[in-house]
Amino acid sequence: MALRDVDSTAAPVVPSGLGELDRVLGGGFVAGSTTLLYGEPGVGKSTLALVALREMVRHGARGLLVSSEESATQVAQRARRLGEIPDGLDVATTTSLDEVEALVRQGGRVMCVVDSVSAVRDEALSAVAGSPPQLRQVAERLCAAARSANSALLLIGHVTKDGELAGPRALEHVVDTVLRFDGDRHATLRVLRAQKHRFGSTGEVGLFELSADALTDFRDADLVSRARPEVPGVVWTVTKDGSRSFLVEIQALVVGSGGTPRRVAHQLSAQRLALMLAVLESRVGLEVGGVDVFAASAGGLSAHEPAADLALAVAVASAARGFVVAPSLVAIGEVGLAGELRAVSDLARRVHEAGRRGATTLLVPREGELSSSPGVKVLRCASLADAVAAAQGGTT
């Protein structure tokens, strides 16, 4: 058969109903494909799978949830906390591979979820559930069953103490898509990334907000809707992840040291913090050698890229000198060892996002193409010293 004669509609893409999940998947789950979802215990993997399955069923499809770790009662309790349980959402509880495979092969369902693949066992193998031979056998047979039934299959996996996917790396090659779900269990923000995706890009990121009774797509708020105390050491920046730009708050605190000075970075690069402190002392004349410096990216979004350098450095300078940075000011730029500001990727997009979120003043490097943004004053700075002076002059 010639390739051009192959029916390209044989494997349709089925939206999950969660915009952030569909963004990462490039539109939704592909019929007959297998997706592996893994992450730390308690991060919300089961909740994400259940919400996606429920939304698909709500739109007229049939779905199946096979629980190998919880009873049907426990699954139902979680489902009811998340909302109404629609008709067409079936649940089964078993650890037998033969039984799970038979359920998947029945067909007629748009998606089947197995929670978790690590607890399913092939009785023909003497190895314990979750061991490499068992995981490989379970994954291979369930992938074949999903292709035969033309149903999307979602497998939930565990991680090791090192945070890596449990089982052999070969398991990742059996499935079509590998998704990692991350987040601090003490916060509400969750991040979804594709580490492998046979049907599209792996450059997208999905953000969710998890609460006790809901998991929803993340909605980034505007600057004007964010309440914050008028204190020194707080500066906004715009970071980029995949094709998206996010407004991120950088906070810094500088206090007297009772001994060896401490440098603490949370959701920021500790190496970049150390570099910024060196540049501030050498090129801006800010004495930070005898003080404790704490820096953090607030709100759950991390800021590890060099484009956050300028905001981090200005936040430290603000905290050390005691001046308040205007709440509507956003700083974007990489800082070099000579104290110069360097252009960053997609500066125009970052500036547009800052303006869209309510920024009125932007500190950016001299280099980098920009388009006009109504209502936004752009200050081009050649050095970190210029940027600190501009931020201090724009205080409220």
Q: What is the pLDDT of residues 308-347, one digit of tens each?
A: 999 999 999 999 999 999 999 999 999 999 999 999 999 9
Mean pLDDT of the chain: 90
User: Please, are residues 74 and 39 in contact by the beta-carbon 8 Å criterion?
Assistant: no
Has residue 161 got a pLDDT over 80?
A: no
Has residue 68 got a pLDDT over 90?
A: yes
Confidence (pLDDT) at 224: 57
User: Domain 9-217 belongs to what topology?
Assistant: Rossmann fold (3.40.50)
CATH class of the domain comprising 223-393? alpha beta
Render pLDDT for 6-25 as a digit per residue (tens, 0 to 9). 665 556 888 998 999 999 99
Confidence (pLDDT) at 33: 96
Find the range with the poorest average confidence among 20-29, 83-92, 132-141, 372-381. Answer: 372-381
- Closest Cα partner for 218 from 232, 202, 234, 206? 206
Shared fold status for 9-217 and 223-393 = no
* Banded model confidence at residue 370, pLDDT cuts 50, 70, 90: confident
CB-based contacts of 247: which residues, under 8 Å, 6+ apart?
Answer: 220, 223, 236, 237, 238, 330, 353, 354, 357
**Secondary structure tally for the chain: helices H, strands E:** 10, 20
**Amino acid of residue 143:** C
* Banded model confidence at residue 241, pLDDT cuts 50, 70, 90: confident
Share above pLDDT 70 across residues of the chain, in percent, rounded to a whole number: 92
pTM: 0.85
* Banded model confidence at residue 74, pLDDT cuts 50, 70, 90: very high
User: Please, are residues 232 and 323 in contact by the beta-carbon 8 Å criterion?
Assistant: yes
Confidence (pLDDT) at 136: 92
Domain boundaries, the chain: 9-217, 223-393
Strand, coil or helix: 309: helix
Confidence (pLDDT) at 395: 46
What is d(CA 171, CA 330) in angstroms, rounded to the nearest whole number? 44
User: Please, are residues 360 and 377 in contact by the beta-carbon 8 Å criterion?
Assistant: yes
One-character DSSP codes across 146-209: HHHHT-EEEEEE-B-TTSSBSS-THHHHHSSEEEEEE--TTSSEEEEEEEEETTS-S--EEEEE
